Structure 1
Amino acid sequence: MTDSIQPDLKAGVPLEHVADGAMLSGQIDGEDALLLRQGNAFYAIGAQCTHYHAALADGLICGHSLHCPMHHSQFDIRSGSALCAPALDDLPTWRVEQVDGRVFARERIVAAPRSRKNAPLDDVVIIGGGGAGLAAADRLRREGYEGRLTMLSADVDPPYDRPNLSKDFLAGTAQADWMPLKPGDWYSEQRIDLRLNTRVEAIDVAARQLRVADGPACVFGALLLATGADPVQFVVPGAAMGQVLSLRNFADSRAIVARAASARSALVIGASFIGLEVAASLRGRGLEVHVVAPDAVPMQRVLGPELGTFVRDLHTSHGVIFHLGTTVTRVDRERASLADGTVIEADLIVAGVGVQPSVVLAEQAGLAVDRGVSVDAYLQTSAPGIFAAGDIARWPDPHSGERIRVEHWALAQRQGQVAALNMLGRRQPFDISPFFWSQHYDVTIQYVGHAERWNAIEMDGSLSARDCSVRYSQGDHVLAVATIGRDLASLRAERELENALAPGQP
């Protein structure tokens, strides 16, 4: 529906124009809005997601929550409240009335001040300045926590939109000032003591305090470990110091952009999601791009052979040159030698060969560690009052029936939000199904669930038409669903996965 024919919701619409469970796009005082109906109740909310401004009319209503089709954020249709990351800001809402068979959206509702609540703790400290840490801090304040709140971040930049490090910012379609997740004054307004470029050296569990490099000890009543993961450092014989770049933080992305400005050709080592997103972004900047990886099919372990082949062919169609089934053995200035004898000329080299969870602090503190920091269903570690979220957390997933650790941005944020609730004594289990998206040129892959292994892949639709769903199953149990061009189907699959427990789960 175009703006020119959208109804004026303030002037009213006939009640029968909005079916039960449906949404009607319109405008209120020139602002895009949605009118939603549930039985005899009507709600008016903003029409765009507060994360990337996706059209919520294309989303999914589940009970009182509206799910965004782009990145699966969730909002309460009654209050506009942002319920689930990556959206952290609420939607606008308007008062609705029914008069003589018509529905009217009236004045905009001003959010009431947050109520202060007594919390069973003080001095909450978050180690980490990524998505999980910020989402936890935001949720603590939203839930009325009024105590001291400190974020200790080793990063030099305030929390930013990490997925765009390899996507829009690297491609040159997003400016640097678009990257922060919150404006600078938000932290002072929320009374969050954000300390950048700050490294925690040790956790004293018994004394409930942290040893901070070049600073006084920091006491805590509750602690969230959100230290993320570190890139695997790929050592190439012959490469000069700093010649092989990696991408994990904003500074890394800026360094690649700076190097790309004068480069003509690039070598990407590794055909991971990050590696191929980097390849796509550098192609967007006009560089010749070579990708070297040992696998015969990119991302086959995650996506399966057919979808992995599609991704490879998509990149090939955009000019990426693949060297698969081989590795880089040596770099001499701008010449990279491969194990199969190929020599590549490249004046920019980026390695994307995976990450390792940053668990050193947890290990030294004596917390239980198993290929990540072990947490229970409430994201609490083996030490009471100490929680973990994001790339480091390995938790009991009720959907797969296994203990898993997942390196997804949206999942890290959602774990931060649930950990915050449990710091406040809510006892809310983390039972959210993992979700991520990956952008390759004009194709977005959405993936819900988690499948480390499967014995059946079922495809519906057409990869060539960029309109399909791919289901990964173990026996009769669907573990994950990948979609292209089917955002609503991805949302529905997410709901189905979250409603289905693995065999043997209570």
Structure 2
Amino acid sequence: MAPGHTSTSGPDLAGGIKLADLPDGGRLVGHCGDAQVLLVRRGAEIFAVDAHCTHYNGPLVDGLVDGDTVRCPWHHACFSLRTGEALRAPAFSPLACWSVEQRDGHVFVVGKRKRGEPTAAVGAMPERIVIVGGGAAGFAAAERLRREQYRGSIVMLSDDAARPVDRPNLSKDYLAGKAPASWVPLRGESYYSKNQIDLRLGTQAVRIEPGTREVILAGGDAVPYDRLLLATGAEPVRLTIPGADQPHVHTLRSLADCEAIIARAATARSAVVLGASFIGLEVAAALRGRGIDVHVVAPDKHPMGRVLGPEMGAFIRTLHEKNGVVFHLEETASSIDGEAVKLSGGDRLAADLVVAGIGVRPRTGLAETAGLATDRGVLVNSFLETSRPEIFAAGDIARWPDPHCGENIRVEHWVVAERQGQTAALNMLGRRERFTAVPFFWSRHYDVRINYVGHAEGWDEITVEGDISGRDCLMRFKRDGRLLAAASISRDIENLMIEVAMECETAA
């Protein structure tokens, strides 16, 4: 879901409210003219900011106030209440701020504040920064560099034909036909020229020369750098079974992939989704929204059970089955022909459309040939530096020392990639900021949103508060009594509070 609140509600804040109606720690939504405004009181201070998150318009009044910040309940974007600055992805645009006056026991919102002039980056700056990759991490890094008033050269090399897109939408609303194409780009074409970001689409980097600090392109051209960010992401694991190369067999990673599936879905009557991962099941839900018969084939015992456990997996299966999806679990596909998918157990499933969501692999080739340290990803330190300090890595390829679980981890979450891109940008400017953000992702299936914070590759205990089947629950994943992660449905505040607690635990 994306942009779109238009109505105003609540008291007229320009006309004032009683201070007593906003107790310490309280929040209230009203309007100032046509704008929805959130008031937050912290002691003697009262802040007034946009009432909705600039990412997907989540209601900030339902979020978490932590110090002088507010976090969105939907996707955990974080904003400064003082300046409106978008401190953490997935939001990049700031909140508008209003001036507040207190008179005669009342609070008045007296007008929108002008944003302060940004301060130029200081100190010795690299002259040339090159970003390889046009996904979440690459875009977030370029955006943050310019927001920090870095004035040097930024070259962004992407082998994709499309400008950076909001990839989660490709398996959700856009694929389901519920979102217009205008929602998909992270920024319009003019953004890059206006901010002097040299975005080169359809451009393949084939080699890095650390000695001369150059990126070599497929045509032989060399792009020099002082700092380099590798944000090459991951690529789908391809099927190797007979018939996998047929035109009605697809993977989903890029906008082009999504458009190809949408084009095929226009005439398809039956689809087979291979894999019961988050992407696979979001695709299944989107295709059901288009009225297509959907069968899901996966070797797992429970959909998403390896991440969310058997109870949540059983709920997700029931949810999809109620929406018409048929599961074939503990099964794999053995071959595909023009009309059907044959399963290892012998069954044949009619299929005008096949979508394979059987996993992804990090694209580490450039790093490996450049001699950078790798281990099932590109190894980085807490500053996201590779084994060459002038080269950084972020997003799906980066394996970093996670302070929360105490291990080197690599995750494939959109928000993590964006936040790593932001941290890498700061560190390419010499800030020396450790990446300590708690991993977070969300997944939506029909009208159910699952929020997950933390990282648990394995656990020995799952505790459940509430009722999973009633779509109101909080699950805690623990190992040796220590909380590693939490998943929730309809418990956004608790999920946010766990995120903050994990951050505080690391900072202590």
Bucket of the pairwise TM-score, normalised by the shorter protein: over 0.9
Is residue 48 from structure 1 mapped to residue 52 from structure 2 by the alignment? yes
Q: CA deviation at 1:248?
A: 0.5
SS in 2 for 1:35: strand
Hey, what does 1:494 align to over in structure 2?
499
C-alpha contact (below 8 Å) 2:9/2:29 kept by paired residues: no
Q: Deviations over 1:20-78 (max 9, x none)?
A: 12211110112100111111111110001000011110000001110000100000000
How many Å separate the matches in 2 of 1:448 and 1:298?
Answer: 19
Q: 2:488 aligned to 475, 483, 490, which one? A: 483
Hey, what does 1:60 align to over in structure 2?
64
Q: 1:97 aligned to 94, 101, 111, which one? A: 101
- Once the two structures are superposed, the pairs formed by residues 109-188 of structure 1 within 5 Å of their partners are 109-118=113-122, 119-188=124-193
Q: 2:407 aligned to 393, 396, 402, which one? A: 402
SS in 1 for 2:331: coil
Q: CA deviation at 1:240?
A: 4.5
Question: Structure 2, unaligned stretches of length 5 or more?
Answer: 1-5
Change (3 A) 1:240 1:401: closer
Hey, what does 1:11 align to over in structure 2?
15
Q: CA deviation at 1:332?
A: 2.3
Hey, what does 1:385 align to over in structure 2?
390
Matched residues, number: 502
Hey, what does 2:32 align to over in structure 1?
28
Q: Which moved more, 1:400-409 or 1:120-129?
A: 120-129
Q: CA deviation at 1:3?
A: 6.6
Q: CA deviation at 1:215?
A: 5.7
How many Å separate the matches in 2 of 1:202 and 1:85?
Answer: 30
Change (3 A) 1:299 1:157: same
Hey, what does 1:276 align to over in structure 2?
281
Hey, what does 1:85 align to over in structure 2?
89
C-alpha contact (below 8 Å) 1:239/1:333 kept by paired residues: no
Q: Deviations over 1:368-420 (max 9, x none)?
A: 00000000001010001111100000000010000000000011000000111
How many Å separate the matches in 2 of 1:452 and 1:191?
Answer: 41
SS in 1 for 2:121: coil
Q: Which moved more, 1:359-368 or 1:35-44?
A: 35-44
Q: Which moved more, 1:2-11 or 1:48-57?
A: 2-11
SS in 2 for 1:461: strand
Q: What TM-score comes out, normalization by structure 1 length?
A: 0.97
SS in 2 for 1:156: coil
The one-letter code matched in structure 2 to 1:31 is A
How many Å separate the matches in 1 of 2:243 and 2:456?
Answer: 38
Is residue 259 from structure 1 mapped to residue 264 from structure 2 by the alignment? yes
SS in 2 for 1:500: helix
Percentage identity across aligned positions? 53
Hey, what does 2:110 align to over in structure 1?
106
Q: CA deviation at 1:122?
A: 1.3
How many Å separate the matches in 1 of 2:159 and 2:32?
Answer: 44
How many Å separate the matches in 1 of 2:243 and 2:383?
Answer: 47
Q: What TM-score comes out, normalization by structure 2 length?
A: 0.97
SS in 2 for 1:110: coil
Q: Deviations over 1:254-310 (max 9, x none)?
A: 000000000000000111110011000000000000111111111111111111111
C-alpha contact (below 8 Å) 1:375/1:381 kept by paired residues: yes
How many Å separate the matches in 1 of 2:367 and 2:319?
Answer: 41
Hey, what does 1:38 align to over in structure 2?
42
Hey, what does 1:343 align to over in structure 2?
348
Q: 1:286 aligned to 291, 295, 298, which one? A: 291
Displacement over 3 Å in runs of 4+: 2-5, 238-243
- Once the two structures are superposed, the pairs formed by residues 325-364 of structure 1 within 5 Å of their partners are 325-364=330-369
Q: CA deviation at 1:147?
A: 0.7
How many Å separate the matches in 2 of 1:82 and 1:22?
Answer: 22
C-alpha contact (below 8 Å) 2:9/2:31 kept by paired residues: no
The one-letter code matched in structure 2 to 1:60 is L
Q: Deviations over 1:113-167 (max 9, x none)?
A: 3222234311011111111111111111111211111111111111110001110
Is residue 190 from structure 1 mapped to residue 195 from structure 2 by the alignment? yes
The one-letter code matched in structure 2 to 1:110 is K
Change (3 A) 1:164 1:321: same
